[in-house]
Chain A
Amino acid sequence: MTDVGFSATRRLILQGAGAVALVGLGNLPFVAPALAAANDKYPEAAFKAKSEADAIKALYGKTAEPSDKVKMDAPEIAENGAVVPVAVTTTLADVTSISFLVSENPVALVASYRIPPGTLPSVANRIKMAKSSNVIVVVEAGGKLYSANKEVKVTVGGCGG
């Protein structure tokens, strides 16, 4: 008897939890498209900015603080500036965007990635570097900006043709 009573209670609790979970899910579709619509626009101005500070300001409207929680994987020396593999990963929570910038490029901003909920804050790509330069990664997490820097020496530039 006690067993039945226990399992009935347990079922009720589980159903309750299920209902809460469903309500939670039900809200998501209304929130997601609104956010996506607001963020879908290509950030034209940020990709025209010459300096990394202007690009970050155009993209996010605020400045980044260095963080050792942003881990960048880039070569010390790039033999070919046209193809420099750079990857980033972070232990920061609630990451919404990751951007790559090269200080000495004619246009500092190279790429900006939007990280929706459920996507891991880890991106690898290949970028061009005109010459030896600082490579900067900016991570937007919980509405704040965090960055990591690394100097990469380029022996053959990627923008000289």
Chain B
Amino acid sequence: MASTIRVRATSSGETTEVQALIQHPMDSGFVKDSKGEIIPPHFIQQLTFEHDGKNVFVADWGGGVSKDPYVKFTFKGGKKGDELKISWVDNKGATDATTAKIQ
């Protein structure tokens, strides 16, 4: 299966801008389906970005984050060709991880 994580990390020399788009239903547990039954909660709880052995950004998410979540941040450092490790875990214990090269 293709990764659920799409990342674009671009170095401007001094800083690296990271944009991530993840495929996930992000069901809050408050929405009913067409039969009127509650769709159980299913959302990413933690998303971690690691560069050079240390976390540069950690997201704690609830069910209020939009489906197929998007996030953007910037950190100091990071060179073209460096690796950025991204991983998530959801409330059902499912995980995914990928490694992106900084461009």
**Which A residues contact B (CB, under 8 angstroms)?**
32, 36, 39-40, 42-43, 47, 82-84, 87, 102, 105-107, 109-116, 118-120, 122-128, 130, 158-161
Contacts and interface: CB of A to CB of B under 8 A. Distances in A.
Interface size class of B (residues with CB under 8 A): 20 to 34
A125 B28 contact: no
Nearest to A106: B30
B72 A123 contact: yes
A122 B59 CA distance: 13
Contacts of A113: 57-60, 71, 73
B55 interface: yes
B31 to A, nearest CB: 5
B71 A106 contact: no
Nearest to B39: A161
Contact of B32 (A102, A125, A161): A161
Contacts of A161: 31-33
A107 B71 contact: no
Contacts of A39: 58
15 contacts: A43-B60, A47-B60, A82-B67, A84-B66, A87-B72, A102-B64, A105-B64, A111-B59, A111-B60, A111-B64, A113-B60, A113-B71, A116-B57, A120-B75, A130-B30
Interface of B is mostly: strand
B64 A32 contact: no
B65 interface: yes
B15 interface: yes
Interface in B4-29: 15, 26, 28
A110 B56 contact: no
A118 B66 contact: no
A33 to B, nearest CB: 9
Contacts of B57: 113-116, 119
Nearest to A112: B60
The 10 closest A-B pairs by CB, nearest first: A110-B64, A126-B66, A124-B72, A114-B58, A47-B62, A119-B75, A120-B74, A112-B60, A161-B31, A118-B76
A82 B66 contact: yes
Contacts of B15: 120
A143 B58 CA distance: 18
B72 A125 contact: yes
A121 to B, nearest CB: 9
B75 A107 contact: no
Nearest to B43: A47
A81 B77 CA distance: 36
